[in-house]
Amino acid sequence: MDTTSDCRLIQFRKQKKLFLIAEAMFHVKQTVMQE
């Protein structure tokens, strides 16, 4: 079991989660501005 790749995978998942949240917030801001 390679622990370094495991840590990298966890960090990648965290970054992906943060990116998805940021993207969702951006879409919400755009829809609010359009109305």
| 6-29 tens-digit pLDDT | 999 999 999 999 999 999 999 999
Residue 29 identity (one-letter amino acid): K
How far is it, in rounded angstroms, from Cα 13 to Cα 4?
14
1 falls in which pLDDT band (50, 70, 90)?
low
Choose between 32 and 22: higher pLDDT. 22
- Counting the structural domains of the chain, the total is 1
DSSP 1-35: --HHHHHHHHHHHHHHHHHHHHHHHHHHHHHHHH-
Residues in the chain: 35
Identify the burial level of 33 via C-beta atoms within 10 angstroms of its C-beta, where 0-12 means exposed, 13-18 middle and 19 or more buried. exposed
Higher pLDDT pick, 33 / 29: 29
pLDDT confidence of residue 14: 97
Range of the domain at 15: 1-35
pLDDT at 4: 84
